[in-house]
A and B are shown apart, each in its own frame.
Chain A
Amino acid sequence: MSRYRLQGKGRVDHSAPVSFTFDGKTYQGLRGDTVASALLANGVHLMGRSFKYHRPRGAVSAGSEEPNALIGTSRGAGRFEPNTRATVQELRAGLVTESQNKWPSLSFDVGAINDRAYMLFSAGFYYKTFMWPKSFWDKIYEPVIRGAAGLGKSPTEPDPDRYASRYLHTDVLIVGAGPAGIAAALAAAQSGADVTLVDENAEMGGSLLSDPAVLIDGKPAWDWVDAQLGRLRAAGVRLMTRTTAIGYYHQNMLGLCQRLTDHLDSPPKGAPRERMWRVRAGQVVLAQGALEKPLVFDGNDRPGVMLAGAAQTFLHKYGVKVGDNPAVITSHDSAYHAAFDLADNGARVAAIIDTRESPRPDLLDGARKRGIEVLPSHTVTTTRGRLRVKSVRAAPVRGTQVGTGRDIACDCLLMSGGWTPSLHLFSHTKGTLAWDGQTFLPDRKTEDCEIAGAGRGLWGYADVLADGAAAGLRALEGLGRAGHQASFTVANDRPGSGVSHTELPTDGNAGKARAFIDFQNDVTAKDIRLAVREGMRSIEHVKRYTTNGMATDQGKMSNINGLMIAADALGKEPPQVGLTTFRPPYTPTSFGAFCGYLRGETFQLTRKTPIDPWAEANGAVFEPVAQWRRAWYFPKAGEDMHAAVLRECKATRASLGIFDASTLGKIEVAGPDAVEFMNRMYTNPWTKLQPGRCRYGLLLGEDGFIRDDGVIGRLSPDLFHVTTTTGGAARVLTMMEDYLQTEWPELDVWLTSTTEQWATVALNGPNALAMLKPLVEGVDWDDFPHMSCAECTVAGLPARLFRLSFTGEVGFEVNVPARHGLALWTALIEAGKAYDICPYGTETMHVLRAEKGYIIVGQDTDGTVTPGDAGLDWAIGKAKKDFVGKRSLSRPDIVAKGRKQLVGLLTEDGSLLQEGAQIVLDPNQPKPMKMVGHVTSSYQSTMGHPIAMAVIEGGFDRMGETVFIPMPDGVRKAKITSTVFYDPQNERLKA
């Protein structure tokens, strides 16, 4: 075992070694390690290269805020993930990891040439550099920039993992299971409230896991945590680890991403990798703690330079000493404890460099006892070391004067610039922030939430525990429940305070300092000052100009430092400059977690008819129509779509075709006022329609434009069977219900969707009647002409039979209860064999109806077509005093000449027009040409030539005229005709 691993220390399992690889080399860590702690235990600090300058970088933190140690991980085929934070990824057997942004190797990287040329790559360089010559942009600049852009490699294979989703309703949701969160949970769990405590880490306990010497109520911190978690579990509190609250949305809804299997050597079969929880909480307690801030000085990014708190965490949680010979630079008391703990575990602390004049006497005492030199009123002016920090240069500061520095040898440098409360989730709620002179704290709330502990700027365990308990109690009281206020006694507490800085003072050339603020995006203090010099005033502009805070860590470490420096450069107070907005997700979240179940066969809801299994078994090609999948055509061996459709069309016209029309919308309109309602809704007159007869119904909007149509049967005086278009079913029902409830509540009529109650089979063709007749009982065929309906039995099944036609042939629609749909279909196929029955799909349906000039709402109409435009004036009940849309039909622009009207088109050369193609009257006019209409429908037909329908300005007055359709390969000529291409006298319907 490496000398950096302290035997018996930490919460890792020293008896359970775990092997993994990093850049092809095998390392050993322990169960409970992260990749970062395991590499550090092996003395490896160099974990990646930065984005812009390709500078060598190591882990700077020990948690989810990590900007540097981003690695690619592979958990097997298809399971590669870029930009995984090494400080978060737990070790699992066989984990393969690799560094990023380097070539050919991590220790020798050609891209690091950018670092030498850093003066060229200042903030906004790409806005300035690539402007000229303009012609270089497409061919040179953009491809090169794109090649260099981005961090990590995208996965190339589909993700084989499953992702889950779940909703949760809870009385109190507590985010963060450190001391404040645990105290809040204990308080909230009184009196039987449903409480959920979540933490992004593998274990609960938060900072207490890195401070084991603290005694709470006489117990060492870890024992206390165990005991409290036991109490919470016993009280029924839902404890969720590895669960990140990624977003805080309206009305106390939070998104949680729970990582379920990434840490397991062999996940159980069927287990999802992650689960997205959508939580609705009565009360929320945010106990997210605080994130340590780096200090800003030249060379603060070398591998081995890390946050002091991170070193303390690696020591106590993972039993890893991050170096033998650390130096410390701090402006906050907390770093002393990190130094002391490392010293107590065998490290030789080179020095504690404190920017402050008078460090606390007890801390000086602690340093003296351990033989650690403290340098108060000192700054760090630079560090040295290529792939690992070797020394730090400390210099005394007197007022604004930086004195002569001295180099202090070290193998790591621990820094602390103080702590920033985690305000991310609070910011998602649009809660306002207040500046306390050092940092921003939560101020006015917009949601039912409490903020507790270090998350609102408190420091020291006694204060934080008391605050958590109080917040939990307030949450409980917010639910209208009561509890009592718990108190905790804390010994060996570690309270502290500090000061905030801009860049640390230096005696070097500030313009050449590589003092990093945003490590991942390589933004330096100099960049921020340059942005201000170049006119950026708002922090939002500074952010975008410099890209500070725009990396995957969303500025968790850099935002406050960037703001302090921008404010200083502007000569303003930080709150006047403002803080950029935090947005969800809190940490990078996989696309899979957002998708959840919505992939593969459940990507989107797909509705299937009862007859769908037959179509599938018989080789149908399907097309999506609204949410349905419908049989499009039934190709036989060797047939393409065109051949199959032409065969289906001809078979239907010659003898008999069968079609699944089950997706047609159906609405039962029932009640004493049913006929009055129909008169008001539809353009047509309904009063005189006798029971047992059908009528084509046309539905308009208030604007007079066609909304829907369908054949409607009157089954009894008080009962109409309305059909709608497939896509219009829900919309039409909603529109009708809207009118009924808001305009005509006095009517005694009710609407019920019966779309799925009935399976509908259409039979069309000259032999339809002959084939159907023997199967039907209960119909008087002497009184069942075209446009009739009846309740009867068909093939022994209870049925509603309609005689109607959407093909121009004799046609029927047989409706049977949906469970019998498939039985009816197969019975009809069987009986139809004598007539060479041909199943056809939606494409043939479209061709056959187009030959007859029957419109399809939504294809031949587009929401601007009136009945008059579509040649459907005959469907308007002229004597009716009102119907929906009637008044609009007399508006001046509706009755004006020159409206686009629906006509037929026949091409001169017999070619097929493209649907959507634009039509002009003069193909030789200058561009842009005046377009007078467009093709709405176009098909190969059964008549040996293609047909088309189009809307053309004043089309009805242009019968026989020639129009032109300019296409990429030439101009087509077409003659305007009637839309009825086939059997204009309707002879075939009368058979």
Chain B
Amino acid sequence: MMTSQKHDFAAAAIRIEDAAPALRLSLRVKPAHRDAVGRALGLDLPARVGQRAQAGDIQALCLGPDEWLIAAPEGAPLADAARAVYADAPHSLVDISDREITLRLSGPAVLDLLAACCPRNLAAMAVGSAARTVFDSATVILWRDGPADFRMDVWRSFAPHVRSLLAQAQAEIAAGL
């Protein structure tokens, strides 16, 4: 009678899609050599956790004081570029393209979908930022690409659990309650 949990059924559609495989690299480097490695990769590495930077189709996300996630199209020659500055700017650049799979989650009710299992205040997350957080008991990285457009990187073996939870939440949202 007086519940505000109303959903516009036509608009409540949630899309859950698998993103195409991409090159993902875990970059670890101390602050003194951050700029040098960033230059080699072709972008300014952001300094604040959660901040993203983009140059062309290469994206960098700061995950920790000395940790970045680099995403780029498959085949991008980033490892070679970084290796060229390794002697002067020691770092670790590990290919983790296959460690995670990426789900693209979008639609007007996507915040409700994520709120089913993610304790973080995602409504307050700035568009264009990203965060390492949890979805139920799985560690995930959430990229907010638009107001109703997220990417979720989840470790491959956790994906069936996460997919099943997403499907349950999607069904309940589709039921309108």
Contact = CB atoms under 8 A, between A and B. Distances in A.
Nearest to B171: A270
Contacts of B171: 270
B25 to A, nearest CB: 10
A166 B112 contact: yes
A237 B4 CA distance: 9
A628 B161 contact: no
A591 to B, nearest CB: 18
Given A169-B123, A271-B175, A819-B98, A756 B112 contact: no
A823 interface: no
A601 B100 CA distance: 21
B77 to A, nearest CB: 16
A271 B90 CA distance: 54
Contacts of B99: 753-757, 818
A756 B157 contact: yes
A752 B68 CA distance: 12
Contact of A241 (B2, B30, B168): B2
B92 A597 contact: no
Contacts of A597: 116-117, 136, 165, 168-169
Contacts of A271: 172, 175-177
Given A166-B116, A753-B99, A668 B94 contact: yes
Interface string B139-177: 000000000000000011110110011001101101111
Contacts of A906: none
Contacts of B169: 164, 597
B96 A162 contact: no
Nearest to A261: B177
Interface stretch (A556-564, A603-611, A703-711): A603-611
A537 interface: no
B11 interface: no
A40 to B, nearest CB: 21
Contact of B115 (A166, A258, A260, A628): A166
A722 to B, nearest CB: 12
Contacts of A239: 2-4
B160 A608 contact: yes
Nearest to B95: A757
A412 interface: no
Interface string B32-58: 000000000000000000000000000
Contact of A167 (B93, B119, B160): B119
Interface in B76-124: 90-100, 112, 115-121, 123-124
A602 B172 contact: no
Contacts of A818: 98-99, 156
Q: Residue among A164, A202, A258, A601 with the most chain B CB within 10 A?
A: A164
A601 B165 CA distance: 9
Contacts of A670: 28, 92-94
B10 interface: no
Contacts of B116: 164-167, 597
A268 B97 contact: no
A272 B90 CA distance: 53
Given A270-B171, A597-B136, A817-B98, A605 B119 contact: no
Sorting the interface of chain B by its residue count into under 10, 10 to 19, 20 to 34 or 35 or more gives 35 or more
B70 to A, nearest CB: 12
Contacts of A628: 157
A270 to B, nearest CB: 4
A671 interface: yes
Contacts of A269: 175
Contact of A165 (B117, B156, B174): B117
Contacts of A167: 115-120
Contacts of A448: none
Nearest to B27: A750
B95 to A, nearest CB: 7
B73 interface: no
A872 interface: no
Given A162-B168, A164-B116, A752 B5 contact: no
A242 interface: yes
B2 A204 contact: yes
A750 B124 CA distance: 32
B128 interface: no
A671 B90 contact: yes
B3 A268 contact: no
A233 B93 CA distance: 52
A275 B28 CA distance: 41
A203 interface: yes
A219 interface: no
A750 to B, nearest CB: 4
Contact of B96 (A242, A260, A605, A754): A754
Contacts of A260: 177
Nearest to A165: B116
Nearest to B21: A819
A202 B2 CA distance: 8
A230 to B, nearest CB: 11
A817 B97 contact: yes
A750 B138 CA distance: 23
A274 to B, nearest CB: 10
Nearest to B113: A166
Given A608-B160, A748-B90, 6 more contacts: A164-B168, A229-B2, A239-B3, A668-B94, A757-B94, A757-B97
Interface of B: 1-5, 21, 26, 28, 30, 66, 90-100, 112, 115-121, 123-124, 136-138, 155-158, 160-161, 164-165, 168-169, 171-172, 174-177
19 contacts: A162-B168, A164-B169, A167-B117, A169-B123, A203-B2, A241-B1, A260-B177, A261-B177, A267-B175, A268-B175, A270-B175, A602-B168, A606-B160, A607-B157, A748-B90, A752-B92, A756-B155, A758-B98, A817-B97
